[in-house]
Structure 1
């Protein structure tokens, strides 16, 4: 067994791996970028090594920096977690050359299964069913467009490299194909360094089912059942569960046999996942999608339900043992399942604003204590734009699926993260959806749903005005405006839920849009209209975050009402196009002086591993600086302004035809 294992990752997966290493009595080594110097995974490890600056390319993706860290701490093995270098064949080879054990599969398995085109063609030869389509290396856009008619619409563009749904684009008609191919190539090149694409027929009402594999170096390959991963948004999983409500014992056996055959065909060793696509209308027909040669984000739901000799398995512990040469000490006949488990991914994002990723400082944190939570969060932590926006995973289990659903909903209601926007309220709304509750799932369900999000109430605005009334730095209970004796009336302008509201404060009272509310400070907190305000809050300067029962919002104090700039478009629509967060320009679709229409994409910015298309808010003439791909932009930086067209209807010539 190893003495020291270096974890070449960050965030919740690094904390989760370090927890198992400690339980096994092994010394753990963390690595970190400048942005993560104070992160929980650094504090959790026995020793930590700085890799470099915040961008992943100069830290977590720097192979030589990680090898140097291994030498510095004397690590005999490296656990890659998931993402970053976990499926990078060059990294596995570099570790092998340095005499350091890679806690993952052999190089040849990564190399074969890491390329979806090769993998698909390989498993087809081993009688594993695959989705109809065209999967040939080296096809350019013209060749793919020519082949698309034979594949048939709707179809799916998929990158050959990488995983996690990045670069996958659904195409409904030939007219949409050129732009979809360009977007898929951009994303694949940026995420995986390889823009090779292939096409597959889109399966109607698809279910995404994956099978957990465990294999040792002594010839034993077995499966640990399936996970239901159909609740996805833009091919990114949102909620996962085990077992699948669609799969019965007979289908589980067939899926497991196909997964074992795929893994055995490449001499797989370690923990891995084989992913299948099933038609909800005919689940007996399933197709191989890909094999992930690493641990999956959703592995905890398998750990919660699988039993071997009555005990739960720790997949990370088995990864370490297998990498050290130990054989599996149980067979397929000893694997059983008990109960049901569901996992929700908690993201720093704003569902009400198109799931825009959110950055900021965690000012208040409360995680549920009655379920499993895999997280790397603390109060005061900076949520950086440089990495994936996933903050934590909340995993609940129960004797059956309804009990697990109820436990997960209660856990999310008890979760408070203030300082950034999160998807907690959205997750609870999704869990309450009748089809989700009934287990009628498919990968398009989320895209067909829209939810009404809770808005801040007048009483909560009154509370916010009270908490924001002191000057910054004087504390929430300062006397300002609340002195005994004569009242000191005060008017505040607050921004909340995308609008402005004026609140008049006087001693013990707040007037919100003409509606009076009584306020009283007590030793137990603030009473609003005679009731104690059971709400969490955190303040940063002129911004106050409020949260309760899985809901949160930000209220910002303004000194005066900001005027909407003059310009094109409907009344109240700003003519300015700005970046939603720090990022990198990856495509420019217009030039200064072009005539544009409302909704036309002007440029594309990448931030937090996602593409953000910035569109014109109105018809008019675009005014924009000479931006180019690779340029860095900051939050709220104005990137373009739309001017009204000339009164006579003539506009400047579109420079791009």
Structure 2
């Protein structure tokens, strides 16, 4: 086994790899950019090396800086994690040239499977079924359009390089092909440095099922069963589970053998994943989509049902060990489900969010595992991937695993950063998810119902009370505060006491708000978890957490929120709570940045006349593009940004003045 391994990644995956290294007694080396100097993976590693400035191109994507860090730290091997350079053949070769072991497949296998066009041709030659689509590499826009017309819409545009759904476009209208090809090329070029595209037939209501493979350098290749990855949004996986409820033993064995043949076709060594698209009505008609030549985000569900540590076996195979077990020794026991917790706001169309993690509680315990790169004080920005952590639940059967995961997500507190935990809980309770009737379009079809839901009354009450406390905090005069005199429920030992706060709501009978620790109960209602993240010095901003969802409040009158309530706290002045609404302040027609990011495209100039819904700008954040459109017919009177501009959330980008209404005479 290696003495020292450098982990060429960040966040939760770096923490995950470091955990196995520590268990095996291997010294771990973390790397970090200036943005991650105090990150959790840096703290948990045995040593850490600075790479450079915050932009990934100057740090995590710099092969030269990573190799220099490996030399400085005395590392013998490099674990690339996933993302960044994990599937970069040039980096794998550079490691070998530097005398380092790349803990992954051979560079030739990465190169071959990283080109989706060549990959399909290669596996097809080994009798692995593939999805019908275009053939040949380097197709022009006109050739892609011709291929799409020959296949017939709907079609899927896919970058030949990379993965993770980046640059993928589903096109149902032939007239939009040229526009969607341009957008797909732009995103592929930005994400992978390669804008080569292919086009494939779209299968309606498909299921996305992948097979985990493991191969050593001695010719042994086995599979570790499948993972169901059909719950997706914008081609990005949201929830994954193992095993799939769709497959019977015969289909599982056939798909597993197809995955093994795909791995053999490229001389694969290490842990990898072969992805298939499967018609829900005919599981036997599965087709190869692509192979991911790295560890997957969702690998924990396979670990839980097989009892294997995939990172450990990556290390052992990289050291030259043979697999100590064969296909007949692999058994799948129980069921595991994983949910990806991301810095995004479902209430605002899943726009990326950011901020400081002011309070953190991550679930653990019986049947629950959390892989996370977070710690209190972590700054979540727009430079890197939005995934913050993964919450995984295991049980003897699928209903138990789903129930445990929903409870674990409700117990997940990441205050200060909007996350998708509430959406994930709603998704896991969806009738089709509970029954196992999944497909890749389920989330998009029902996204409105999955993100709907009112704000509980106790959230408004808590926000009002917390703002009241901020207006007159205990000890504000600088004097000492006796903790026994503060009605906080604090005590020296045992359970905190419930403290009560009588609250009068205009037009309603008085109610009693009871608080104990992080639990809130209104009247005789059931207790729910609620946490204060922060309140401005003047009480103008409060963040409350309830059941996995964070709600941000501002003072009514200072922010045009989507909802506002006024509360009367007994013996105190009235206080207001206004729930933060959709972005768009700054005056009529002002277009604001929906999230912190970078402007990549500006399609208009001051003085241009535009129509409602017309695309004006593109803002990119966390590897995702977001189109800013005209709110109405009008004239662009102000444009304050250009391509490359870095913008903050709610920053005014442009102003579109509506066209003057016609006079009565003109009408």
Q: TM-score, normalised by structure 1?
A: 0.89
Partner residue in 1 for 2:347: 352
Q: Deviation at 1:631?
A: 2.6
Post-superposition Cα deviations, 1:254-280, rounded to whole Å, max 9, x if no partner, equal 001100001011110000000001111
Aligned to 2:555, the other structure's residue is in SS state strand
Partner residue in 1 for 2:265: 265
Post-superposition Cα deviations, 1:48-98, rounded to whole Å, max 9, x if no partner, equal 011111111111101111011001101000000000000011111111110
2:613 to 591, 599, 604: 599
1:442 aligns with 2:439: yes
Q: Does structure 1 conserve the Cα–Cα contact (< 8 Å) formed by 2:29 and 2:47?
A: yes
1:330 to 298, 306, 325: 325
Cα gap change, 1:517 to 1:12, in 2 (>3 Å):
farther
Give me the CA root mean square deviation.
2.5
Q: Distance in 2 between matches of 1:218 and 1:406?
A: 42
1:321 to 278, 291, 316: 316
Q: Does structure 2 conserve the Cα–Cα contact (< 8 Å) formed by 1:33 and 1:54?
A: yes
Partner residue in 1 for 2:277: 277
1:468 aligns with 2:467: yes
Aligned ranges for residues 485-524 of structure 1 at < 5 Å?
510=503, 512=505, 514-515=507-508, 517=510
Q: Does structure 2 conserve the Cα–Cα contact (< 8 Å) formed by 1:459 and 1:517?
A: no
Partner residue in 2 for 1:63: 63
Partner residue in 1 for 2:489: none
Aligned to 1:417, the other structure's residue is in SS state strand
Q: Distance in 2 between matches of 1:388 and 1:571?
A: 28
Post-superposition Cα deviations, 1:105-134, rounded to whole Å, max 9, x if no partner, equal 001100100110110111111111110010
Q: Does structure 2 conserve the Cα–Cα contact (< 8 Å) formed by 1:120 and 1:135?
A: no
Post-superposition Cα deviations, 1:208-266, rounded to whole Å, max 9, x if no partner, equal 00000000000000000100000000100000000000011100110011000010111
Post-superposition Cα deviations, 1:188-210, rounded to whole Å, max 9, x if no partner, equal 00000000000000012211000
Partner residue in 1 for 2:414: 417
Partner residue in 1 for 2:565: none
Partner residue in 1 for 2:656: 642
Q: Distance in 1 between matches of 2:231 and 2:225?
A: 18
1:582 to 581, 591, 596: 596
Q: Does structure 2 conserve the Cα–Cα contact (< 8 Å) formed by 1:87 and 1:294?
A: yes
Post-superposition Cα deviations, 1:533-587, rounded to whole Å, max 9, x if no partner, equal 75222214242221122232111236746699xxxxx999941101122222222
Post-superposition Cα deviations, 1:600-655, rounded to whole Å, max 9, x if no partner, equal 22111101111011111222112233744323222222111111214459xxxxxx
Q: Which ranges in structure 2 are unaligned for 5 or more consecutive residues?
A: 479-499, 563-583
Q: Distance in 1 between matches of 2:321 and 2:330?
A: 19
Aligned to 1:181, the other structure's residue is in SS state helix
Q: Distance in 2 between matches of 1:435 and 1:96?
A: 48
Q: Mean alpha-carbon deviation: is it higher for 414-423 or for 105-114? A: 414-423
Q: Distance in 2 between matches of 1:475 and 1:344?
A: 38
Q: Does structure 1 conserve the Cα–Cα contact (< 8 Å) formed by 2:640 and 2:654?
A: no
Cα gap change, 1:522 to 1:86, in 2 (>3 Å):
closer
Q: Distance in 2 between matches of 1:226 and 1:342?
A: 12
Q: Distance in 2 between matches of 1:576 and 1:95?
A: 50
Cα gap change, 1:254 to 1:468, in 2 (>3 Å):
same
Cα gap change, 1:305 to 1:529, in 2 (>3 Å):
closer
Post-superposition Cα deviations, 1:468-491, rounded to whole Å, max 9, x if no partner, equal 12457x7478699xxxxxxxxxxx
1:537 aligns with 2:535: no
Aligned to 2:130, the other structure's residue is in SS state coil
Q: Does structure 1 conserve the Cα–Cα contact (< 8 Å) formed by 2:588 and 2:657?
A: no
Aligned ranges for residues 74-93 of structure 1 at < 5 Å?
74-93=74-93
Aligned to 1:23, the other structure's residue is in SS state helix
Q: Distance in 2 between matches of 1:100 and 1:90?
A: 13
Cα gap change, 1:476 to 1:259, in 2 (>3 Å):
farther
Q: Distance in 1 between matches of 2:425 and 2:528?
A: 22
Post-superposition Cα deviations, 1:34-55, rounded to whole Å, max 9, x if no partner, equal 1111111001100001111111
Aligned ranges for residues 20-99 of structure 1 at < 5 Å?
20-99=20-99
Aligned to 1:455, the other structure's residue is in SS state coil
1:3 aligns with 2:3: yes
1:380 aligns with 2:377: yes
1:367 to 340, 350, 362: 362
Aligned to 1:297, the other structure's residue is in SS state coil
Post-superposition Cα deviations, 1:407-459, rounded to whole Å, max 9, x if no partner, equal 11111111111111111111111111111101001101111102253333444
Q: Does structure 1 conserve the Cα–Cα contact (< 8 Å) formed by 2:95 and 2:101?
A: yes
Q: Distance in 2 between matches of 1:88 and 1:571?
A: 43
Q: Which ranges in structure 1 are unaligned for 5 or more consecutive residues?
A: 307-311, 481-506, 565-569, 650-657
Cα gap change, 1:533 to 1:7, in 2 (>3 Å):
closer
Cα gap change, 1:645 to 1:6, in 2 (>3 Å):
same
Aligned to 2:322, the other structure's residue is in SS state coil
Partner residue in 1 for 2:554: 556
Q: Distance in 1 between matches of 2:453 and 2:98?
A: 55
1:119 aligns with 2:133: no
Q: TM-score, normalised by structure 2?
A: 0.87
Cα gap change, 1:479 to 1:554, in 2 (>3 Å):
farther
Q: Does structure 1 conserve the Cα–Cα contact (< 8 Å) formed by 2:211 and 2:226?
A: yes
Aligned to 1:134, the other structure's residue is in SS state coil
Q: Distance in 2 between matches of 1:359 and 1:617?
A: 25
Q: Distance in 2 between matches of 1:294 and 1:140?
A: 30
Q: Distance in 2 between matches of 1:297 and 1:521?
A: 41
Post-superposition Cα deviations, 1:297-338, rounded to whole Å, max 9, x if no partner, equal 0000000001xxxxx110000000100111111111111110
Q: Distance in 2 between matches of 1:246 and 1:170?
A: 24
Cα gap change, 1:436 to 1:647, in 2 (>3 Å):
closer
Q: Distance in 1 between matches of 2:477 and 2:463?
A: 16
Q: Does structure 2 conserve the Cα–Cα contact (< 8 Å) formed by 1:467 and 1:477?
A: no
Q: Across the two proteins, how many residue pairs are aligned to each other? A: 612
Q: Does structure 1 conserve the Cα–Cα contact (< 8 Å) formed by 2:354 and 2:596?
A: no
